[in-house]
Amino acid sequence: RASRASERSVISGSTKAASGRAAAAFSAAQSKIGSPYVYGASGPSSFDCSGLTSWAYAQAGVSIPRTSEAQADAGTRIYSESDLQVGDLVIFYGDFHHVGLYAGNGQVLHAPHTGAVVRYEAMSDMTFEFGVRI
């Protein structure tokens, strides 16, 4: 019930891609929905969180750092969720140990944790720190 409600609710945030590169990266990541999370994996058949984001941007011809902590400094920081655009990196938790791609409407596309698969999830399920526009 909660997931259906979050899909229907109107949450602040753009559904427009941040750039052509961001759109291409997001599209690449979408093609990996259902792929298993494996710690330290960077594709093409399994991923951890930063492995997914770095692989996705590589498919768009953009090299970004491999770890979520380094990705936090890879572009322009965006502190307001309402300013995020599709394909922006979203950094979670105070130590920046998790990253995903903004999917629009308050959703993130990410590789969440061991035992899970690449999927969409409500950003409100995690502690948002900031976005990064590449």
Q: Tell me: the pLDDT tens digits for 67-100? A: 999 999 999 999 999 999 999 999 999 999 999 9
CATH (domain of 71):
3.90.1720.10
The pLDDT of residue 16: 82
In angstroms, the CA 86 to CA 19 distance is 9
| pTM of the complete model | 0.88
Number of domains in the chain: 1
Q: Are 130 and 79 in contact (CB under 8 A)?
A: yes
Which residues are part of the catalytic machinery?
49, 98, 110
Q: Which helix (H) or strand (E) holds 90?
A: strand 89-92
- Cβ distance 63 to 25 under 8 Å? no
pLDDT of residue 18: 81
Domain ranges, residue 96: 2-133
Among 81, 91, 101, smallest CA distance to 129 is for: 91
- Tell me the CA distances in angstroms from 68 to 89, 91, 97, 132, one per residue in order: 9, 7, 6, 11
What pLDDT score does 14 carry? 57
Digit-coded pLDDT (tens) for 44-67: 999 999 999 999 999 999 999 999
